[in-house]
Amino acid sequence: MEVVNPATGERIETYEAAGEAAVERTLADAQRAFEQWRERPLAEREELIASAADVLREDKREYAELMTREMGKPVSQAESEVEKCAWVCDHYAEHAHAYLEADHHPSPPGTEVETVHEPLGVVLAVMPWNFPFWQVFRFLAPYLTAGNVGVLKHASNVPGCAEAIEGILREAGYPEGVFQSVLAPSDLVDDIVADDRVRAATLTGSGPAGRAVASAAGDQLKKMVLELGGSDPFVVLDDADLDDAAETGAWARNLNGGQSCIAAKRFVVHTAVYDDFLDRFVDEVESLAVGDPMDEDTEVGPQAREDLVADLHDQVAASVEAGATVVTGGEPMDREGAYYPPTVLTDVPEGCPADSEELFGPVAAVYEVDDEAAAVERANDTEFGLGASVWTADRERGERVARRIDAGCVYVNQLTKSDPRVPFGGVKESGYGRELSEAGMKEFVNRKTVWIE
């Protein structure tokens, strides 16, 4: 595995991919570790995840720079990602006991009936490169604290991040084998899922990858959680605060170089405010600082790989050929590195890539609609259903519209985001299952009913 700095095109590191023998050792170690880890008192597991938060904060800059070198995230955003990882660790250190407390049920006199929450075993996590620390910690913090053990198959362009996370848990005091990274190629994933020692799997990534892993898990009757792509609508109604909506919308589309499943991608704007919003939105987009991701002032860095720039531009070019208008951006930047500028498209025809596909980069598609009903219809006119955002001065109206949008989460007057305190996940082609909060923690436990006569 060769790691290339996307800001410079330079090869910075080479890692040896794991073969079948290494995978076998990893799974054997994981299974052995589970037998003891499951018996570890929950209070001790809470203390360990709290220690992981301490390690993250102690070396925040080191981990941030590693992310930036491997996948191009602006270093200030990478530091924020490390802080968020520490937060999710703090959350489960504080709340795991309450989340996993036994549920008691009505029963006949003299009996006691409860549901207890027991770990399943070895959980495989197939994780993407776009948030190379956060995606992993939002998996490991709840599932390891619940008593499972984890095996991470990370994206091939962020192997340093994968190894660093394993190192963080070792430094925090986790026993050997409780969390392991295996730098396996994708063609070994099906075999790992099929292995009897693996009891469940979670994947964040593309639709094709999700289908492949879900099919393998389904054949073995194993539990899956999938967080796949998104084409999130950002609905601006006629009574919205346009300055706030435009500023937040520009950030919601271009954060992390636009490489986020829950980025705002389709801007659905009421005709009464369309022109005003578009002017303000384009001004905000054009003001974003594009540059060296190691520079603290950079807001948009490179895309993670050169081939991703080519794929994104093909989608933009096909949309323009179909009739879309480029208001700003629209061409790869003439500079060293995998840079694509923040781009705004209008007059987007139905069925073109910008309308029907996920654009995983800093490209916004803006639509004009006549009324609230048309806004909801346009928001739902997608195969995806991950997140959405609604902008209005009327909170009751915002809630009403939010409830009509088909998505796993809808934010009113706020950008779509994941938060340890609330469930996160999608519907339709965006996947199934939930991560984070109590709901996420209980995805990979055996909810065992115990009846005592």
CA atoms within 13 A on the CB side of 21: 0
Mean pLDDT of 328-336: 97
Give me the number of domains the chain comprises: 2
Residue 402 domain flag = yes
pTM score > 0.95 for this model? Answer: yes
- Let me know whether 159 and 254 are in one domain: no
- Let me know whether 255 and 131 are in one domain: no
- Let me know whether 316 and 354 are in one domain: yes
pLDDT tens-digit profile of 191-247? 999 999 999 999 999 999 999 999 999 999 999 999 999 999 999 999 999 999 999
Rounded CA separation 404/380 (Å): 9
User: What is residue 388's predicted lDDT score, i.e. its pLDDT?
Assistant: 98
Residue 423 domain flag = no
- Let me know whether 185 and 252 are in one domain: no
Cβ 12 vs Cβ 5: under 8 Å: yes
> What b/e readout covers 406-440, taking b as 16+ CB neighbours within 10 angstroms?
bbbbbbbbebbbbebeebbbbebbbbbbbbbbbbb
Q: What is the CATH number of the domain that holds 148?
A: 3.40.605.10
Rounded CA separation 196/183 (Å): 20
- Let me know whether 179 and 253 are in one domain: no
Residue 195 domain flag = yes
Selection from 133, 196, 194, 189 nearest residue 160 by Cα: 133
Catalytic pick among 85, 161, 261, 352: 261
pLDDT tens-digit profile of 23-48? 999 999 999 999 999 999 999 999 99
C-alpha gyration radius of the chain = 23
Q: Domain range holding 342?
A: 232-412
Q: What is the CATH number of the domain that holds 298?
A: 3.40.309.10
Catalytic pick among 70, 166, 227, 358: 227
User: What is residue 407's predicted lDDT score, i.e. its pLDDT?
Assistant: 98
User: What is residue 121's predicted lDDT score, i.e. its pLDDT?
Assistant: 98
Residue 420 domain flag = no
Q: Is 161 a catalytic residue?
A: no
Question: Token pair for residue 245?
Answer: 């909506």
Selection from 315, 311, 309 nearest residue 332 by Cα: 309
pLDDT band at 257; cut points 50, 70, 90: very high
User: What is residue 85's predicted lDDT score, i.e. its pLDDT?
Assistant: 98
Question: Token pair for residue 186?
Answer: 């994708």
- Let me know whether 127 and 258 are in one domain: no
Site of tokens 């490209």? 363
pLDDT tens-digit profile of 154-176? 999 999 999 999 999 999 999 99
DSSP 165-217: HHHHHHHHTPPTTSEEE----GGGHHHHHHSTTEEEEEEES-HHHHHHHHHHH
Provide the mean pLDDT of the chain: 98
- Let me know whether 438 and 404 are in one domain: no
Q: Is 336 a catalytic residue?
A: no
Mean pLDDT of 388-392: 98
Cβ 431 vs Cβ 409: under 8 Å: no
